[in-house]
Amino acid sequence: MPRYKPQVRDSMLLPVVLSEQLVPGSFAFALDYLVEHELDLSALDARYRNDEVGASAYDPRVLLKIVLLGYSRGLVSSRQLERACVHDIQFIAISGDSHPSHAQLAKFVSTLGEELKALFHQVLLVCDGQGLIGRELFAIDGVKLPANASKERSGSHAELAHRAQRLEKAADKIVALHQMQDKGSTSPGERALDAQRQQRVDALRREAQRTREFLAANTPRRNRKGQELKTNITDPDSAKMATSKGVIQGYAAQAAVDAQHQVIIAADITGSGSEQAMLLPMVEQAQPFADAQTLITADAGYHSDANVLALQAQGRPALIADNQMRQRDERFKSQAQHKTQPDPLYDKQPTGQDKPIQHFGPRDFRFDPKTRTALCPAGQTLRSSGAIYQVGKGQRREDFKARPEDCQGCALRTQCLRHPERTQARKVSLFHASEIDPNDASQRMRRAIDSPQGRSLYSRRIATVEPVFANLRHNKRLARFTLRGTAKVRAQWQLFCLVHNIEKLAHSGWGP
């Protein structure tokens, strides 16, 4: 029978040099050296007043390194970080064998605010000193992430008040139903059921009371047009947002990324599905690391006449796409054939039913601009009202109407009028292109982005910013925010962006 060397599986005491666990070139090594030798954490030191009296505290440098190392590995929960400080050798090494509790780690992350903004700037200075910021092109984009909030507790004030009323009615209905079933019965099973129902009733009434207290303490949120916005009881700063995977209750995380090495120059969040209002603040945050020739790029979600005009007034080179950019690009003229085709049976009618009538549209009329008339499919003349209405930037509308006597006995009346029983005469509209000012800021932006050079430069945007979001969402497992409120969520997003930038430093070979 063969003989093998023995294997030991019991406890052993091994000599471990903690400093040797942080290997040069790794993220942990770069993080440790950065925090200990490059960053000024005096703002975090100022939190403590235990020089003379009071218990000793955990060094904020240790807490920051634990959190950033955890985020780099997808460990967001404070309890996961607490366990890692006990069992993971790299966490033990980077923390100096400290064992902060999950409560201390959670408090540290939730109280980071302006101090983190300063640290983010300091890390960018280190990246700039390492030559990782090219200043040629900045790409601004956003990613929508779920918040630590329930969609069910979202709505306008009227909708939330109606929900509270429904909850109270549901509780009353349970009580009334139980009273009807419980008459004359004293069995143990009925008493146990009574306790379960009572818990459900209490939960419904607590939720209704919580909703009414929220409505009493908070005024309706309104947008710039004065329209009421939906709010959320769990996290009022978050908002409902449409994504490719459905509607979420969350935040839109913003990032401005440099094209040379994909370093995040600016990071912020907004509790709104519309990102137009974030363009200028993001440009302003990225300005310290830009120069006069830095090109700002952003997709159509950030386009507005006001934004384009503001960038032009500031003299900042920019390529901001509009909603019609792809329609003007001949490279996308055949994109429709690659889209999913509809089900060939989607418009089939059941046997015995007639197909809906196909009514005449403006394309079925012949317009004469000289006489300002239109000829209908039946040969009748429609005349212009004489007025031309401005219906939007770059478009005007002219209306043509037939005489009632011409439509009264027309054989095509049912095919021309949608409601022939009550409509006397057909009216059709013709849209004209308005005169466009060539010096208009938006028109100049369209010409710039439609030029061959503009298309070449703008095409670099998606390859600059999307890999950053892929790294944070997939590699760092940022699936949702765990904190609540704009300030705390912004701090958590900036922590993840810090991890991304420190990773860039580590991969560049930076270190002592």
Per-residue exposure over 407-442, b if at least 16 CB sit within 10 Å of its own CB, e if not: beebebeebbbeeeeeeebbebebeeeeeeeeebbb
pLDDT range class, residue 177, cuts 50, 70, 90? confident
Domain extent for 320: 137-147+239-330+439-495
CATH code of the domain covering residue 482: 3.30.420
Task: Kindly report which listed range (155-164, 169-178, 493-502) carries the lowest average pLDDT score.
Answer: 169-178
Q: Check residue 10 and give its pLDDT.
A: 84
Residue 193: pLDDT over 70: no
Does one domain contain both 41 and 26? yes
The token pair that represents 501 in the structure block: 């930038």
Does one domain contain both 143 and 258? yes
pLDDT range class, residue 392, cuts 50, 70, 90? low
Yes or no: say if 204 and 197 are a contact pair by the CB < 8 Å rule: no
Q: Check residue 296 and give its pLDDT.
A: 97
Q: Is residue 228 part of a domain?
A: no
Yes or no: say if 511 and 129 are a contact pair by the CB < 8 Å rule: no
Does one domain contain both 326 and 411? no
Which one of 388, 409, 432 terminates a domain?
432
Q: Is residue 1 part of a domain?
A: no
Does one domain contain both 247 and 141? yes
The DSSP line for 444-509 is HHHHHHHSHHHHHHHTHHHHHHHHHHHIIIIIS---S--S-SHHHHHHHHHHHHHHHHHHHHHHTT
Q: Is residue 215 part of a domain?
A: yes
Helices 60-72 + 486-507 axis angle, to 10: 80
Q: Check residue 338 and give its pLDDT.
A: 67
Write down how long the chain is.
Answer: 512
What is the number of alpha carbons within 13 Å of residue 279 lying toward its C-beta?
Answer: 24
Does one domain contain both 418 and 472? no
Does one domain contain both 264 and 317? yes
Does one domain contain both 261 and 292? yes
From the number of C-beta atoms within 10 Å of its C-beta (0-12, 13-18, 19+), residue 33 rates as: middle
From CA 135, how far away is CA 505, in angstroms rounded?
17
- Which among 136, 459, 460 is positioned nearest to 317, based on CA atoms? 136
Q: Check residue 435 and give its pLDDT.
A: 64
Q: Is residue 353 part of a domain?
A: no
The DSSP line for 427-438 is EEEEEEPPP--T
Q: Check residue 175 and give its pLDDT.
A: 83
From CA 483, how far away is CA 492, in angstroms rounded?
8
SS3 content of the chain, % helix, strand, coil (to 5): 45, 15, 40
Q: Check residue 343 and give its pLDDT.
A: 59
> Which sign, positive or negative, has the C-alpha torsion 85, 88, 93, 94?
negative
pLDDT digits (tens, 9 = 90+) for 266-302: 999 998 878 899 999 999 999 999 999 999 999 999 9
Q: Is residue 204 part of a domain?
A: yes
Q: Is residue 511 part of a domain?
A: no
Residue with tokens 């300063």: 118
- Which among 285, 250, 4 is positioned nearest to 138, based on CA atoms? 285
From CA 71, how far away is CA 239, in angstroms rounded?
25
Mean pLDDT of the chain: 88
From CA 485, how far away is CA 223, in angstroms rounded?
18
pLDDT digits (tens, 9 = 90+) for 215-269: 999 888 887 778 888 889 999 999 989 888 888 999 999 999 999 999 999 999 9
The token pair that represents 346 in the structure block: 């989607």
Q: Check residue 353 and give its pLDDT.
A: 59
Does one domain contain both 307 and 191? no
Q: Is residue 13 part of a domain?
A: no
pLDDT digits (tens, 9 = 90+) for 424-450: 999 999 887 666 666 788 889 999 999
Q: Check residue 347 and give its pLDDT.
A: 55
Q: What is the rounded (10 degree) CA torsion for 103, 107, 108, 112? A: 160
From CA 83, how far away is CA 104, in angstroms rounded?
13
- Which among 207, 185, 168 is positioned nearest to 193, based on CA atoms? 185
Q: Is residue 501 part of a domain?
A: no
From CA 493, how far away is CA 269, in angstroms rounded?
8
Q: Check residue 187 and give its pLDDT.
A: 55
Question: Which residue did the predictor score with more confidence, 196 or 69?
Answer: 69
Per-residue exposure over 220-237, b if at least 16 CB sit within 10 Å of its own CB, e if not: ebeeeeeeeeebbbbbbb
Residue with tokens 């040969």: 379
Work out how many domains the chain is built from and give that number: 4
Residue with tokens 């929900």: 163
Q: Give this prediction's pTM.
A: 0.81
Enumerate long-range contacts of 344-350, CB under 8 Å, 24 or more apart: none
Residue 75: pLDDT over 70: yes
From CA 97, how far away is CA 92, in angstroms rounded?
5
pLDDT digits (tens, 9 = 90+) for 108-133: 999 998 889 999 999 999 999 999 99
Residue 307: pLDDT over 90: yes
Does one domain contain both 324 and 457? yes
Does one domain contain both 142 and 279? yes
Does one domain contain both 416 and 456? no
Enumerate long-range contacts of 229-233, CB under 8 Å, 24 or more apart: 229/156, 230/154, 230/155, 230/156, 230/159, 231/154, 231/155, 231/156, 231/157, 231/160, 232/147, 232/149, 232/150, 232/153, 232/154, 233/153, 233/154, 233/160
pLDDT digits (tens, 9 = 90+) for 196-213: 788 888 999 999 999 999
Does one domain contain both 425 and 451? no
pLDDT digits (tens, 9 = 90+) for 343-385: 555 555 555 556 677 889 888 999 998 899 999 999 999 999 8
Q: What percent of the chain has pLDDT over 90?
A: 60
Residue 195: pLDDT over 90: no
